[in-house]
């Protein structure tokens, strides 16, 4: 990530600056990100009547995700373990939100199929972040990042989740995630394969 997207700027003003001179650690912010991600997924899983609340909590979770790294950089507390914890929290939160969405739409037009669709999308998102971690282990930090465009990173696309929900397009979002997330996972798997060291001749 570029660390200077629009979402980073919002996080810097609303979360990071008030915390710089406090005892709050970046890992504690990451934990708050994880807990809010789980809470958002739980709200979405209840059903349509909780979707708007779940979407709002997920926006908070995404802002906290941008805040933890910024707080670490601005206070000189960056670490490999903290970055790994951040990635794991991202994988769990983003995957569970899509799974929760699928569960919550079980009484909609796709019936129980929506649960399987959410699970497939969620597992694919988790796989993407796992592959990013593996690529970084092989080639170093930021080795798997995609370029930013107009102040947005590729992973800012997760904010489309609440936008679709608020516009009453939760089922359309689920369908899009079901098809797109596995394709993106396949793209990152191809990137991972390219970065593997050449095999030794037998």
> What is the pLDDT at residue 2?
57
- The separation between the first and the last C-alpha atoms of the chain, rounded to the nearest angstrom, is 39
Residue 199 is predicted with a pLDDT of: 61
Cα–Cα distance, 77 to 65 (Å, whole number): 16
Query: Quick one: pLDDT at residue 165?
Result: 97
Angle (nearest 5°) at CA 65 between 59 and 69: 150
In degrees, rounded to 5, the angle at the alpha carbon of residue 149 between the alpha carbons of residues 169 and 175 is 25
Say which residues have a Cβ less than 8 Å from residue 40's Cβ, sequence separation at least 6: 54, 55, 57, 58, 61, 93, 97, 100
Q: How far is the C-alpha of 132 from the C-alpha of 84, rounded, in Å?
A: 11
pLDDT of residue 25: 96
CA distance 90 to 86: 6
Calculate the CA 80 to chain-centre distance: 19
Length of the chain: 202
Cβ neighbours, 10 Å, residue 151: 13
Beta bridge partners of 149: 152
Give dist(CA 168, CA 183) in Å, integer.
25
Q: What is the pLDDT of residues 1-58, one digit of tens each?
A: 556 788 989 999 999 999 999 999 999 999 999 999 999 999 999 999 999 999 999 9
Between CA 183 and CA 172 the distance in angstroms is 17
Place of tokens 């926006």: 59
Nearest to 1 by CA among 188, 174, 145, 187: 145
Enter the DSSP assignment of 169. Answer: -
pTM of the model: 0.90
Task: Please give the pLDDT value at position 202.
Answer: 45
Low-confidence ranges of the chain (pLDDT < 70): 1-3, 142, 199-202
């Amino acid at each position: 990530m570029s660390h200077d997207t629009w979402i980073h700027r919002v996080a810097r003003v609303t979360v990071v600056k008030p915390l710089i001179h406090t005892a709050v650690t970046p890992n504690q912010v990451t934990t708050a990100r994880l807990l809010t991600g789980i809470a958002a997924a739980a709200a979405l899983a209840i059903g349509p009547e909780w979707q708007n609340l779940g979407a709002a909590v997920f926006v908070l979770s995404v802002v906290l995700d941008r805040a933890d790294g910024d707080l670490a950089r601005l206070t000189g507390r960056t670490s490999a373990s903290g970055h790994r914890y951040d990635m794991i929290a991202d994988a769990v939160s983003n995957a569970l939100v899509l799974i929760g969405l699928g569960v919550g739409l079980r009484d909609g037009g796709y019936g129980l199929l929506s649960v399987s669709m959410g699970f497939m999308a969620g597992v694919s998102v988790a796989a993407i972040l796992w592959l990013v971690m593996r690529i970084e282990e092989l080639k170093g930090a930021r080795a798997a990042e995609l370029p930013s465009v107009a102040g947005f990173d590729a992973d800012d696309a997760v904010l489309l989740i609440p936008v679709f929900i608020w516009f009453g397009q939760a089922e359309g979002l689920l369908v899009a995630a079901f098809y797109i997330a596995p394709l993106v996972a396949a793209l990152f798997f191809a990137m991972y394969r390219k970065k593997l060291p050449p095999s030794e001749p037998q």
